[in-house]
Amino acid sequence: MSAIPVDSVDLFDQGYARDPYPAMAALRENEPVKFDENTGLWLISRYQDVRSILLDPENFLPDNAIDAIGRFSVPTLRVLARVKFDLPQTLANNGSDSHAGYRRIMTRLFNAPAVAAAVPMVEKVVAEALDDVERRLAADGVCDLATTLARDVPFRVMLRLLDLQSAVDVGIDTLSRWSDASLELFWGRPRGEREVALAREAAAFYAWLTALVSKPAPEPGTLLGALAAHRLPDGERLGLNQKAAVVYFMIIAGQMTTTQMLGTMCLRALREPGLWQRFAAEPAAVAPWTEEVLRRDPPITTWRRITGRPVTVSGVELPAGAPLLLMLASTGSDPEVFDDPGQLCPYRSNVRRHLSFGLGRHRCSGAELARMEADVVMRMTTARLPRLRLSARTAPEMLALLSFRAPLQVLVERG
């Protein structure tokens, strides 16, 4: 591993996105709590520091978790204002006493029995997606798994689990475009006309969601039904903006991150000689390997917190209100916790000790669903297409946003 100056880290650079490990190692070793002038955030890169922060929601607040990185331009603000775009405190950005109620809704939808019961449905969705992959391979000789299998399966699964499929009147292409635009708008560095164009897509998404949650008499047991029945601690019903914010977050967080996870896993498995074929022959090997990919290459690479009072982290004094960037991907490669972290070792004793799904009060509600989807997708895809190989035409570009990293293309062909 080559040493690099800590000051040279650019979290949005394509070079960093392709190979962030040297920069993360330099930060952990030399400056584990570093102020980043490009983002205005304090970078926290060591495992123990991040773990302690996640487990201390009283002193490290989640209020800034989904804020835009920088200030929007006036034209962008006007676009968002036209649809009354608002993301009030609900799930990831909620440190108040109302968080527990929102969390219970998610737990009921994604608890272990619900995930186990969903396996046949997920297998059916994956089989249908693989039919599409095979059609594309037959017609074109190549297929991009990142924009077909890895994208479509999480969308279809999420809509069915949330019982939204009958209420959704737009296609996956539209939902994906809206979600991509929202990620880049809030976690990227768009400027000028690009920022305004992304805002238009995010606004269209939000307006559609507002109409969706406004529909009368949603079915009990569905997400919309649960939101309609939910009461805040003061007894008040949820407003339209609160319901829209929950669904906005669930579609993006529940689908896009799983899409990015599956794209990364497919690319890694295809790059490792013989691994794809091994999974076809030994499907039980998929689950432990999946855990290691989550440790080393999590789809959510960072997450944010803000200090609620003056604190000291790794010897650095931080004032109240200091915005922090918890480098989740860096913690998975911390040699103080994981021996030989650059190697994927599926049967390491602490294979599930990573922080890729967060920890504590705000741990990802869909963690077990994501694990199950990854297992089903990898098992079924390798079994059905055991001779699949990565095309030499696969572009190396990565999604390079503040908190999200994944291959933009996984072009495959038959071997």
Question: 287 and 375 in contact (C-beta within 8 Å)?
Answer: yes
What is the distance of C-alpha 269 from the center of its chain? 20
What is the chain's length?
A: 415
What pLDDT is stored for residue 2 in this prediction? Answer: 47
Q: What is the pLDDT of residues 150-187, one digit of tens each?
A: 999 999 999 998 888 877 889 999 999 999 999 999 99
Domain ranges of the chain: 6-414
What pLDDT is stored for residue 168 in this prediction? Answer: 84
What pLDDT is stored for residue 215 in this prediction? Answer: 85
Residue 343 CA to residue 415 CA, distance in Å, equals: 27
What is the distance of C-alpha 381 from the center of its chain? 22
Which of 176-185's residues contact partners 24+ apart within 8 Å by CB, and which partners? 176/151, 177/201, 178/202, 178/204, 178/205, 178/208, 179/205, 179/251, 179/252, 179/255, 179/256, 180/256, 181/205, 182/248, 182/252, 183/252, 183/256, 183/401, 183/404, 184/401, 185/68
What pLDDT is stored for residue 253 in this prediction? Answer: 80
DSSP string, 9-40: --TT-HHHHH--HHHHHHHHHH-SEEEETTTT
**pLDDT higher than threshold 90 for residue 251:** no
395 beta partners? none
Question: 311 and 324 in contact (C-beta within 8 Å)?
Answer: no
**pLDDT higher than threshold 80 for residue 3:** no
- The backbone region for 366, taken as left when phi is positive above 0, alpha when psi lies in -120 to 50, beta otherwise, is alpha
Question: Please, is 81 exposed, middle or buried when counting C-beta atoms within 10 Å of its C-beta (0-12, 13-18, 19+)?
Answer: exposed
Quick count: other Cβ atoms within 10 Å of Cβ 220? 10
What pLDDT is stored for residue 348 in this prediction? Answer: 92
Report the chain's mean pLDDT, rounded to a whole number. 94
Question: 383 and 280 in contact (C-beta within 8 Å)?
Answer: yes
Residue 137 CA to residue 385 CA, distance in Å, equals: 11
Residue 298 CA to residue 293 CA, distance in Å, equals: 7
**pLDDT higher than threshold 90 for residue 241:** yes
For the chain, how far is it from start to end, CA to CA, in angstroms? 33
Question: 168 and 153 in contact (C-beta within 8 Å)?
Answer: no
Taking Cα atoms as reference points, which of 30, 6, 53 lies closest to residue 355? 53
SS3 track for 224-254: HHHHHHCECCCCCECCHHHHHHHHHHHHHHH
Q: What is the mean pLDDT of residues 126-146?
A: 98
CB contact burial 63-76 (16+ within 10 A = b; e otherwise): bbbbeebeebbeeb
**pLDDT higher than threshold 80 for residue 301:** yes
Q: What is the pLDDT of residues 92-118, one digit of tens each?
A: 999 999 999 999 999 998 999 999 999
**pLDDT higher than threshold 70 for residue 342:** yes
Question: 21 and 2 in contact (C-beta within 8 Å)?
Answer: no
**pLDDT higher than threshold 80 for residue 8:** no
Amino acid at residue number 195? E
Superfamily for 6-414?
Answer: Cytochrome P450 (1.10.630.10)
CA dihedral sign of residues 170, 371, 288, 56: positive
What pLDDT is stored for residue 5 in this prediction? Answer: 61
**pLDDT higher than threshold 50 for residue 61:** yes
What pLDDT is stored for residue 45 in this prediction? Answer: 98
Residue 271 CA to residue 268 CA, distance in Å, equals: 5
Residue 6 CA to residue 232 CA, distance in Å, equals: 45
**pLDDT higher than threshold 90 for residue 119:** yes
Of 218 and 284, more confident: 284
398-400 and 143-144 beta bridge pairing: unpaired
